[in-house]
C-alpha cells in the first residue's frame, strides 16, 4: 500500500499536534484492501482528528478521522461512496472540508511505504 502523510496540519486547523497513524491503524487499512492512503492527523490527550483519502479498486473514498477515547481514527471507516477522481470527491464537499482535503490532493509527500513521513 502506498502511504502519503502530510506532516503539516492544514492552515486554519489549530487543534492537536501532527502525528502518524499507529502501525495497527495502517494494518486496518491494509485489511480493507486500500491501495493508496493519503492523510493528515492531529492527536491530543485522548482524542484525535484528521482527514483520510483512500483509493480502492479505482475509486477514491474519504474518511473523517475525528475520534474520542472510546474508538480510534480508522475504526469506523465505511467504503460506501467511491469517486473516479479526487476532483469528483472534492466537488461533493463543503468549502471548509475541501480546504482540509486540498493539501492531501496537492502537497502530500510519499513515504517509503512504511509508516514514515
What is the pLDDT, as a whole number, of residue 9? 84
Residue range 32-68, pLDDT digits in tens: 999 999 999 988 777 788 999 999 999 999 999 877 6
pLDDT of 112 over the 60 cut: no
Is the pTM above the cut of 0.75?
yes
Any idea what DSSP says for residue 60? E
Q: Are the beta carbons of 48 and 42 closer than 8 angstroms? A: yes
Residue 61 and residue 45: Cα distance in Å, rounded? Answer: 28
Q: 3-40: per-residue pLDDT in tens?
A: 999 888 887 776 778 889 989 999 999 999 999 999 99
The reported pLDDT for the residue numbered 69 is 65
Instruction: Spell 58-89 as b/e; 16+ CB within 10 A means b.
Output: eebbbbebebeeeebbbeebeeeebbeebeeb
Confidence grade of residue 106 (pLDDT, cut at 50, 70, 90): confident
Q: What is the pLDDT of residue 8?
A: 85
Q: Average pLDDT for residues 99-115, to the nearest whole number? A: 67
How far apart (Å, rounded) are the C-alpha atoms in residues 20 and 15? Answer: 15
Amino acid at each position: 500500500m502506498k502511504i502519503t502523510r502530510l506532516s503539516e496540519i492544514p492552515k486554519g486547523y489549530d487543534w492537536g499536534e501532527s502525528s502518524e497513524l499507529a502501525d495497527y491503524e495502517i494494518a486496518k487499512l491494509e485489511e480493507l484492501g486500500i491501495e493508496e492512503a493519503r492523510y493528515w492527523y492531529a492527536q491530543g490527550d485522548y482524542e484525535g482528528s484528521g482527514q483520510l483519502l483512500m483509493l480502492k479498486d479505482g475509486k477514491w473514498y474519504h474518511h473523517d478521522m475525528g475520534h474520542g477515547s472510546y474508538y480510534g481514527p480508522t475504526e469506523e471507516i465505511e467504503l460506501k461512496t467511491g469517486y473516479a477522481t479526487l476532483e469528483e470527491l472534492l466537488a461533493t464537499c463543503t468549502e471548509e472540508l475541501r480546504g482540509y482535503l486540498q493539501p492531501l490532493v496537492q502537497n502530500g509527500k510519499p513515504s517509503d511505504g512504511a509508516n514514515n513521513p
